[in-house]
Amino acid sequence: MSARRPPAAAERARLAAALARYAPRGAVRVAEALAAVAVNRRRRAARLWNGAFAEALPAFEDAFAGLPERPPGEDAAWAAVCRRIAARALGGARPDPTAGAWCAALGASGAPAHAPILTARIGAYAFFRAEEADT
């Protein structure tokens, strides 16, 4: 493990903070799916780059580009839920509800050009990836 790689606790805190900002409060299934997208996006980048840029993996927030950011709140209960979801997603403790998606969109805006395959719809969100074997 590289000395530049952030510790696991810091990674969990960053993902949890991103979930608290982008997942609708109280929508646990959506938050789990968004966490899976962020983790899938990082894994995909590491695989495509073949580890060459291990210290420059994409920020978790990059996975949520184009999604509405929620106003900051002092909801301690939701923050705790986001921390648990982040820990499970980073630890691979649950199956991926998005079937390998690494791109999320709100509503029926259509598939982005770089990820045209719809893998799941959860709540008002659609999840996409580029190829059938892109897992």
Band of the pLDDT at 3, cuts 50, 70, 90? very low
Rounded Cα–Cα distance for residues 126 and 52 (Å):
31
Q: Which of 36, 37, 43 is nearest to 95 (CA)?
A: 36
pTM of the model: 0.84
pLDDT in tens, 9-51: 888 999 999 999 999 999 999 999 999 999 998 888 877 777 6
pLDDT in tens, 70-93: 877 778 899 999 999 999 999 988
Q: Are 53 and 41 in contact (CB under 8 A)?
A: no
